[in-house]
Amino acid sequence: MKLNHAANREIMIAFCFLIPSLAGFAVFYLIPFGQSVITSFQDGLDGGSWTLANYKELLASSSFKKASANTFRFMAISVPAIVALSLGLALLLNTRVFFRNWLRTAYVLPLVVPVASIVLVWQILFDWNGALNGWMARLGMIRIDWMKSDWASMVIVLIYIWKNIGYNVVLFLAGLQNIPDQYYEIADLEGASRLRKFGITWTYLMPTTFLVVLMSVLNSFKVFRETYLVAGDYPHDSIYMMQHYMNNMFLSLDIQKLSAAAALMAACILVLVTILFQAERLFRSYME
């Protein structure tokens, strides 16, 4: 009885500490999102009749289709790339490489630098009169308008990777340091190849990998800040994302379509997150 009383007391204390955060989350996120979902099924902001017309018009919109396709194409390219690169860098930094501490600081530095400062550097690099075109002109190559051509999507992918790779490297390094050394010692005694050793590493890094993939997917939907600051309100068609579409709907005060687009985007993210959690659960059950 004393143990149950102590456990209940600890739960109540923890809940009291969580109340401010839960209240803030409900007031600033949960309640507004619920209100926007309700608005997406109405034909007016003053509580009009219920309708599915907002979703029908949204799915028939060419701008929405383009924004959705670009967003998921960006995610399909950037997420595997950043996961593979961050894993490779984490494996490199986990060894006794030269300047290891300096490299760790360099990869984490973009996380603490303001987005506006980061975008300013990339603007200087990829502008028509920027550093990259200047180097190309000196080599006798033709200048490229990077942000007004099909190269724009690759530029945004590079910005996304550079901005977020440090966080993923930190997660992978934490996962690597939690793998017991005796597994590798046994593999050495059995004469295992590097590929077999990597199989050991990959197996025990799977929970961390699921977390990295999840965070990378969520961050890929937040690339609007970088794209907006680099390319402005109306970027090249290849980098016209869902956030651009919703921003334009907000500027035109088409709140119903904006709410419907936000609800569909949240539903897609929820489906992707559910698939990742189910895959992780299947992997855990397989390992047990």
Tell me whether residue 53 is in a domain: no
pLDDT at 82: 93
Residue 70: HSE in the Cβ half-sphere, 13 Å Cα cutoff: 26
Cα–Cα distance measured from residue 7 to residue 111, given in angstroms and rounded to the nearest whole number: 38
Domain annotation covers residue 24: no
What pTM was estimated for this model as a whole? 0.81
Selection from 28, 39, 40, 35 nearest residue 264 by Cα: 40
Half-sphere exposure of 82 (CA within 13 A, CB side): 33
> Would you say 15 and 9 are in contact if contact means Cβ atoms under 8 Å apart?
no
User: What CATH number should be reported for the domain holding residue 233?
Assistant: 1.10.3720.10
- 22 within a domain of the structure (yes/no): no
- Contacts of 234-237 with CB under 8 Å at 24 or more apart are 235/147, 235/152, 236/147, 236/148, 236/149, 236/150, 236/152, 236/153, 237/66, 237/70
Q: Which domain holds residue 190?
A: 60-287
| Residue 165 within a domain | yes
> Which residues have C-beta within 8 Å of that of residue 243, sequence separation ≥ 6?
221, 222, 223, 224, 227, 228
Q: Is residue 23 part of a domain?
A: no
Between helix 115-126 and helix 152-177 the angle, nearest 10°, is: 130
Work out how many domains the chain is built from and give that number.
1
pLDDT 10s digit of each residue in the chain, 288 long? Answer: 555 667 778 888 888 888 888 888 888 888 888 888 888 888 776 666 788 888 888 888 888 888 889 989 999 999 999 999 999 888 888 776 666 666 667 677 777 777 777 777 777 788 777 788 888 888 888 888 777 888 888 888 888 888 888 888 888 888 888 887 787 777 777 777 777 777 778 888 888 888 899 889 988 888 877 787 777 777 888 888 888 888 888 877 778 888 888 888 889 888 988 988 888 888 777 766
At 84 the pLDDT is 92
What pLDDT is recorded for position 79?
A: 92
Q: Is residue 190 situated within a structural domain?
A: yes
The owner of tokens 């949204």 is 58
For residues 83 and 206, give the distance between their C-alpha atoms in angstroms, rounded to a whole number: 12
Domain membership of residue 271 (yes or no) is: yes
DSSP 147: G
Helical ranges in 113-193 per DSSP H: 115-126, 131-138, 152-177, 181-189
> In the prediction, which pLDDT does 277 show?
85
Name the residue among 277, 84, 284 with its Cα closest to residue 172. Answer: 84
Does a structural domain hold residue 1?
no
